[in-house]
Each structure stands twice: as structure tokens, then as C-alpha cells.
Amino acid sequence: MKRILLLSAVVLSLLLLTCNLFSQQCSDCRYISPVFDSITKETVHFGRGVTINGDTQELYMDIYQPFGDTVSSRPVVMFAFGGGFVQGSKDDWYVYEVCKHFTKAGYVCAAMDYRVGINYLEILQLQHMRIFFRPMQDYRASVQYLKWDFAENGNNYRIDTNMIFAGGASAGAITALMMQYCDKPTEMGEMGNINALDALGGFYSTTGFHQNYSWNCAATISIAGALINANWVEPGDDPVISAHGNADNVVPYSYGALGGGLLGGIFDLQGDFVVDSIARSKGVCSYLYTMEGRDHPSESMGIEYFYSIVYRIMLRMEAVRTYKSFCCALNVDITPGDTLYYLPGAPVPSVLTAVVTNDSGNSQLHWCTMPCQLSSTANSITVTADSTLKYVAATVSEGNCLSADLHIVYDSTLVSSVIEPDVFIFSVYPHPASSLLNITADVSSFKNKSGTIGLTDVLGRLVHQQPFYASGGQLKATLDINGLPVGNYLLSVSIDGRKIGARRVMVAR
């Protein structure tokens, strides 16, 4: 059944003006679009673990909250960084950006440390499951900390422990998926002898200070993630919400090896496409946003990454948060279609229309815009692409079902990176590269300083390093990569011993 509802354009315009002036009053769009202007961050100590080198690593977690929020019970997004299990940090720029967007929408966001590193002896001894298990232990511990704080420490972060979302990107997404769905020793035992985990405390162990608490979460968020075996998802499991580029050469979209083939047979993975397909075949609610033609997420995706991915994910989280399903027949589509419009260049539609189908006549339509919400029974909205309107979302609910669609509008003032100003940005070309790799950058803030450029493989081994001098504030360098095998590498730039930028590059011939 199709429903179309009406509201005058005058009233709609007044609502837009009111919301732009008083964005924090837009409570109806809390958890869907930003309703807070500022966030806070607190660092807590949640655990301790032994690294691959036998050292002890203290584990910390950054907890982000919306500034000025008075809600007493809030959902939580856990977010784990990526880095191929060999590097990365909760302090990486994109971790902050993801948490910022979730937190401004009203969520509490927690970004945790986890141990990274690959021990080649463990691989030779077929104990490579430990590479995945150490991060799982740490992720479990971070969830336990929040549940302990809720139960025994005064609930400092005012959270709802029934609404914790386990999320991450790349290796962090793999870890979140494995924590949620690799929940039996026999499953991890598919990778080798499960006794390999005995030295780490056994399959059910964590590295946390509060090990009496569970690490169960309400749903899993996977951005470019994968499982060793997607059949670990079983009927009755919690929902999966994912996004993945179908040209990903680092973590496979469907089937493949971590790192694009260098670790084939050892780290073979089944990506979000397979996880989504198997989940739905088993009756587990799952959503996959496929980024057509996109490689592994990187800073080059800029604003599209956060608006297209984070807010699509957030719309499906809203169904989980309100104890509804996003896997019903109920559907809403915004027309013109779910497309990115850029100015100058492509035309921007003046009116967007939401069409509801498969309802029973009692569905409720809800418009939200960034940075402000609209709440009405209208089926259309007048669109003006300016510096305030960045996206338009429509949700429709009926009974136990919730459907959503997202439409993104850019103008010339919005086509820019969301990377923080103090993050170092550099160009690498050609890409993929076969023999020579060129690097250029404006390094004015590091004028006349010395630095190094390094390449590490997917196992974290340094395979190439060369010095440079930022003469006159410009970095220009060429790397000879003729001797490197085909595959994915991490290129990093350091000045005065401090890494200021990194980017994944591919060698192909």
C-alpha cells in the first residue's frame, strides 16, 4: 500500500528556520542527525594485556559524550580502529571523526586501545588465531568496563547497557564481528588447535579489570570488515549493520585474503557481502551499504565517507535502538534516488519526495535534516543546497518495523575534506604503482626539517625507508618499488621521529 501525506511549504520553511536557530531543540531527530554543537572526551584505564613481545600494555579507552546533554540513559557506540592488526590507534583522526558524528547525534561513543602486532613464529606454529584473539580480549574488556561502571561505579556515562553497539573499521570491524559471532571455542578452533589460546587465558578470557561482566552487545557495526567464517552467524543472533567497498583490495568485499593476497591460505576472510548474505539466509537482520567501485576506506574519501556511511548506519541503528526491525517489508524511498549531488556541476533537485510502500495505512513518516530536524506528515520537502543543509533523511515506522532512506546534498562550500586541519595530507601517484611511487605535500608547518618515508607490508615489516628534507616547506620524493612484491602496503611519513601521516598504497604490475 502506498501513502502520500501533505504539508504546506510555508510551514516547512518556518520549521527549517526554527531548527537552524535552535538546533539543540531538535530532540525528535536525536540519534539520527546532530543535535549537539560540542562534545567532551574522557580517557579511562580499562585493562592490561601482554603483547606479542612479552611486554605489558596498559589499555585505555576514550569516552565521548555530548556536551550539555541531560538524558539519563543513552545508547553507546563502541568503535575500534583499523590497521591490519599491525598498527593503528584510538587517536587516529578518523576514529575521532566517527565518534564526533555519533556523539553530536546524542550517542556516547567509546574508542578503545587493543593490542596489535604479528608474531611470525605463531604463524609458523599455526597459532595465528592469537593475532585475532588478543584484540578480541581487549574489546571484550572495554565493554565489561562500561557495564561495571553502570552497575558499580555510579553510571558516570549515563548509558543503557542494553543498547551497546559493537563497531569498528577494517581490523577493528573484524574484531567486533569476531567478538560478537565467534562465540564458541569450536568456531575459533577451525583456525587451528584451540589450545594455542591457553597461554592467553583461554577462549573466554579478557584483559579487563572487571571480568565478571558480559561483553554481549545489541548489534554489530562493520565498516570494511570480515569474518574467518561467516557461518558463525547463527539464527537468533543480533543484527549486523555494515558498509563495504566492492573494490576493496585490503579486506575482501566477498572472499579473499587479508592484504590482497599476501597472506592467502593463512588469513582468508569472508567480507561483509558474505556476512550479510549468510546472516539474511539464517533470518538474522542485516543491512549492507555497498560502496560501488570503492577500495578500502581512506582519508581520500573525505566527507562522503562520513555522511554516506556513518549516517546510513545510524539510520539502521535507530531501528535497533527503538526495538524495531529494519528488515521488514515496510519501505521508504526518497526520490530523486539515493544519489550524491555536487555543485557546481550536477543539478540539485528542488523537491524531495518520500514514497512509503508495503505499509498497512498507519505508518508514520519522519523527516530529518542535518544539522536540524523536521517532523511532519508531509511526503515532500523543499531542498535548498546551502552551507546548513548537508543531508536529508526520511524514516517511516509502523508496528515493529522501521525503514529509512538517505539523500545527500552538497554545494561548493561542502565539497571538502572532513579531516581535522592539523592532520597531514599528502598526494601519492600513480596508484596503483608498478615501479616508481611519487609523493608530494605542502609541509609548511615542518619547513626545513628532516624526516623519513617508510613502507611496511601487511605483516608490519619495514620493507623500504628513505630520508627526505622539507626544503622550503615542500616535500617531493620518489620511491623505487621495483623489488617489492605485488600487494598492499602502508606508506608513512615521519618528521622528528613522529608519524604525521599514513596512507595505504598498492603495488601492481
Determine phi and psi for 318, rounding to 5 degrees: -60, -35
Residues 292 and 394 in one domain: no
Higher per-residue pLDDT: 503 or 82: 82
What residue has cell string 545527500? 408
Cα(473)–Cα(446) distance, rounded to whole angstroms? Answer: 6
Q: What is the pLDDT of residue 460?
A: 64
Percent of the chain with pLDDT strictly greater than 70: 80
Give me the helices (H) in 163-291, please.
Answer: 171-181, 185-188, 272-281
| Rama region for 77: left / alpha / beta (φ>0; ψ in -120 to 50; rest) | beta
**What average pLDDT does this structure show over 16-37?**
62
**What average pLDDT does this structure show over 442-451?**
71
**What average pLDDT does this structure show over 91-97?**
88
Higher per-residue pLDDT: 175 or 291: 175
- Residue 1 maps to a domain: no
Residues 462 and 401 in one domain: no
**What average pLDDT does this structure show over 25-50?**
87
Residues 165 and 310 in one domain: yes
Cα(379)–Cα(394) distance, rounded to whole angstroms? Answer: 9
Residues 99 and 78 in one domain: yes
Q: What is the pLDDT of residue 469?
A: 82
Residues 302 and 350 in one domain: no
Cα(107)–Cα(76) distance, rounded to whole angstroms? Answer: 6
Give yes or no for residue 50 having a pLDDT over 50. yes
pLDDT tens per residue across span 462-477: 889 999 887 777 788 8
Higher per-residue pLDDT: 110 or 484: 110
- Residue 4 maps to a domain: no
Name the pLDDT band for 8 (thresholds 50, 70, 90).
very low
Final residue in a domain of this structure, among 359, 376, 409: 409
Handedness of CA 343, 346, 349, 350 (dihedral sign): positive
Q: What is the pLDDT of residue 1?
A: 38
Final residue in a domain of this structure, among 272, 293, 321: 321
Residues 444 and 351 in one domain: no
CB atoms within 10 A of CB 41: 14
CA distances from 131 to 177, 214, 268, 509 (A): 15, 22, 14, 30
CATH number of domain containing 351: 2.60.40
Residues 335 and 307 in one domain: no
Final residue in a domain of this structure, among 376, 409, 442: 409
Q: What is the pLDDT of residue 16?
A: 36
Higher per-residue pLDDT: 316 or 417: 316
Name the pLDDT band for 12 (thresholds 50, 70, 90).
very low
CATH number of domain containing 473: 2.60.40.1930
**What average pLDDT does this structure show over 442-454?**
75
Residues 232 and 369 in one domain: no
Residues 216 and 142 in one domain: yes
Q: What is the pLDDT of residue 462?
A: 84
Q: What is the pLDDT of residue 19?
A: 38
Residue 276 near residue 248 (C-beta atoms within 8 A): no
CB atoms within 10 A of CB 65: 22
Q: Burial level of 54, CB count in 10 A (0-12/13-18/19+)?
A: exposed
pTM of the predicted protein model? 0.78
pLDDT tens per residue across span 361-385: 899 999 888 766 565 667 888 776 6
Identify which of 10-24, 162-176, 484-498 has the greatest average pLDDT: 162-176
Cα(425)–Cα(107) distance, rounded to whole angstroms? Answer: 29
Residues 158 and 227 in one domain: yes
- Among 114-118, 428-432, 480-484, the range scoring the smallest mean pLDDT is 428-432
Residues 155 and 241 in one domain: yes
- Residue 358 maps to a domain: yes
Domain total in the chain:
3
Give yes or no for residue 421 having a pLDDT over 60. no
**What average pLDDT does this structure show over 225-244?**
97
- Residue 416 maps to a domain: no
DSSP assignment of 106-132: T-EEEEE-------HHHHHTT-THHHH
Identify which of 4-18, 62-76, 300-314 has the greatest average pLDDT: 62-76
- State the DSSP H helix or E strand holding residue 165, giving kind and residue range, or none if neither: strand 159-169
Name the pLDDT band for 414 (thresholds 50, 70, 90).
very low
Identify which of 337-341, 412-416, 473-477 has the greatest average pLDDT: 473-477
- Domain hosting residue 204, numbered range: 30-321
Cα(136)–Cα(220) distance, rounded to whole angstroms? Answer: 14
Q: What is the pLDDT of residue 221?
A: 98
pLDDT tens per residue across span 129-151: 999 999 999 999 999 999 999 99
Give yes or no for residue 252 having a pLDDT over 80. yes
- State the DSSP H helix or E strand holding residue 147, giving kind and residue range, or none if neither: helix 129-152
Cα(217)–Cα(353) distance, rounded to whole angstroms? Answer: 35
Q: What is the mean pLDDT of the chain?
A: 84
- Residue 3 maps to a domain: no
